């Protein structure tokens, strides 16, 4: 177990050290003008926002049969792009892995990372990166075969567990086993189809990752879904966030307030379908949100219609959820807005 920990720590440290140099280099190259954000200015110059995704996870980011990237992470990228450039279609999706995602952001290969990435102190304090918002409150789970007869994680002393390297899942399992005085053998596999194949072929007793991904993987098995069981224990908190580089506060603000705008729209009942009917609203909150007064966009360095563009082109937060996650059979639960018992709460746009 010590070896397991050390492996992760050294990997993280290595990318953390790399961060310093690369971020410094990219910052000194890009001189912010106008908006005051080097990232926004370079996105304008490119006519694109480069957004790191996985590209392999149903409900999060996966191309559909037409090759269009679908999922809550993909739509989060579109929303930021609509806020930044006024056109959600100007997003460019860049596939990243659990292991190279942070260096991709540090090096400037991407402008934002929207890839089921858990917000942790270690990541925020060591990597030169920061989390702008949580787009999915998740937790680590275990998937086992029904034929194993295992009904609880507590029955898994001595188990082999398939897990992707460089993930917070590795740490969560380690903590859980330590806390419960049990032992396990990790089988570290990077490639998603390989890890899922390894689990299905019996190379490991359980497959562990974010419970959302386990649920969507199980769902993707169609009639064979019933052969797989998601154990009841959710062993950690995994708030999945959208990340940016530290040092570009204006870009951080824009990414963060894009999500707040989508939640505000849901709170106010504004959708992609009805947003135009609100353009003569007398509600001051709605008027500021939609850019009818208050220069909120200008304060962020973008068009005052930034939030209108996000809502019109991508929708409110609930629409994003319903389009991508509801079809996977995952209840909204704590991911609902606060007025419906969830954690998504929008600070005021004023």
Ligand X SMILES: N[C@@H](CCC(=O)N[C@@H](CS)C(=O)NCC(=O)O)C(=O)O
How far apart are CB 4 and ligand X at their closest, in Å? 15
Q: Report which DSSP code applies to 101.
A: H
Report the alpha-carbon distance of residue 125 to residue 16 in Å, rounded: 9
Strands 91-95 and 49-53: parallel
- Contact by Cβ (8 Å): 133, 240: no
Number of residues that bind ligand X (CB under 6 A): 19
- Contact by Cβ (8 Å): 244, 124: no
**Region 239-258 residues binding ligand X, contact defined as CB under 6 A:** 240
Of the candidate residues 41, 111, 238, 266, the single one contacting ligand X (CB under 6 A): 238
Residue 64 or 282 with smaller CB distance to ligand X = 64
Residue 101 or 245 with smaller CB distance to ligand X = 101
Report the alpha-carbon distance of residue 262 to residue 298 in Å, rounded: 18
213 lies in the binding site for ligand X (CB under 6 A): yes
* CA-CA-CA-CA torsion sign (42, 43, 47, 48): positive
Report the alpha-carbon distance of residue 109 to residue 106 in Å, rounded: 8
Residue 331 or 347 with smaller CB distance to ligand X = 331
**Region 273-332 residues binding ligand X, contact defined as CB under 6 A:** none
**Region 9-68 residues binding ligand X, contact defined as CB under 6 A:** 54, 56-57, 60
List the beta bridge partners of residue 210. 140
No. of H helices and E strands in the chain? 13, 12
Of the candidate residues 35, 81, 167, 196, the single one contacting ligand X (CB under 6 A): 167
Q: Which residue has tokens 């952001």?
A: 105
Nearest Cα neighbor of 188 from 201, 178, 210, 203 is 203
Report the alpha-carbon distance of residue 178 to residue 184 in Å, rounded: 10
How far apart are CB 241 and ligand X at their closest, in Å? 9
**Region 91-150 residues binding ligand X, contact defined as CB under 6 A:** 97-98, 116-118
How far apart are CB 278 and ligand X at their closest, in Å? 35
How far apart are CB 25 and ligand X at their closest, in Å? 26
Q: What's the distance, Cα to Cα, between the start and end of the chain in Å?
A: 50
Ramachandran assignment for 57, one of left (phi > 0), alpha (psi -120 to 50 degrees), beta (any other): beta
- Applying CB under 6 A, the span of 105-113, 164-172, 264-272, 332-340 interacting with ligand X comes to 164-172
**Region 171-200 residues binding ligand X, contact defined as CB under 6 A:** 192
Residue 220 or 281 with smaller CB distance to ligand X = 220
76 lies in the binding site for ligand X (CB under 6 A): no
> What's the longest Cα–Cα distance across the chain?
64
- Applying CB under 6 A, the span of 104-112, 161-169, 197-205, 269-277 interacting with ligand X comes to 161-169
Residue 62 or 310 with smaller CB distance to ligand X = 62
- Contact by Cβ (8 Å): 135, 124: no
How far apart are CB 118 and ligand X at their closest, in Å? 4
Report the alpha-carbon distance of residue 104 to residue 128 in Å, rounded: 12
Residue 54 or 335 with smaller CB distance to ligand X = 54
Of the candidate residues 37, 168, 174, 196, the single one contacting ligand X (CB under 6 A): 168
Residue 100 or 271 with smaller CB distance to ligand X = 100
Question: Which residues form the interface with ligand X (CB under 6 A)?
Answer: 54, 56-57, 60, 97-98, 116-118, 164, 167-169, 192, 209-210, 213, 238, 240
């Amino acid at each position: 177990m010590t070896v397991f920990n050390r492996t992760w720590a050294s990997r993280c440290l290595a990318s953390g050290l790399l961060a310093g140099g690369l971020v410094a280099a990219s910052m000194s190259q890009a001189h912010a003008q106008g908006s005051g954000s080097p990232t926004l200015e370079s996105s304008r110059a490119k006519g694109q926002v480069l957004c790191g995704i996985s590209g392999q996870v149903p409900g999060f980011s996966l191309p559909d049969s037409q090759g269009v990237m679908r999922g809550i992470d993909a739509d989060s990228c579109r929303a930021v792009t609509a806020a930044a450039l006024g056109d959600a279609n100007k997003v460019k999706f860049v596939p990243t892995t659990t292991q190279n995602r942070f260096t991709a952001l540090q090096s400037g290969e991407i402008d934002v990372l929207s890839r089921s990435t858990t917000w942790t102190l270690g990541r925020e304090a060591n990597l030169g990166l920061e989390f702008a918002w949580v787009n999915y409150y998740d937790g680590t789970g275990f998937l086992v075969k029904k034929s194993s007869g295992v009904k609880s994680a507590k029955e898994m002393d001595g188990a082999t567990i398939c897990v992707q390297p460089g993930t917070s899942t590795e740490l969560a399992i380690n903590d859980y086993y330590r806390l419960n005085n049990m032992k396990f053998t990790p089988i570290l596999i990077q490639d998603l189809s390989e890890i899922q194949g390894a689990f299905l072929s019996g190379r490991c007793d359980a497959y562990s990752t974010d419970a959302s991904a386990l649920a969507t993987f199980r769902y993707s098995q169609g009639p064979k879904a019933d052969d797989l069981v998601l154990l009841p224990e959710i062993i950690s908190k995994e708030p999945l966030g959208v990340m940016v580089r530290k040092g570009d506060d204006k870009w951080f603000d824009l990414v963060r307030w894009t999500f707040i705008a989508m939640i505000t729209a849901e709170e106010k009942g504004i959708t992609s379908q009805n947003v135009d009917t609100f353009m003569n609203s007398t509600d001051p909150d709605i008027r500021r949100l939609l850019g009818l007064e208050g220069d909120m966009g200008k304060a962020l360095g973008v068009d005052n219609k930034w939030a209108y563009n996000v809502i019109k082109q991508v929708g409110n937060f609930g629409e994003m959820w319903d389009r991508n996650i509801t079809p996977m059979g995952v209840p909204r639960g704590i991911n609902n807005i606060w007025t419906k018992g969830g954690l998504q709460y929008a600070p005021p746009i004023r």
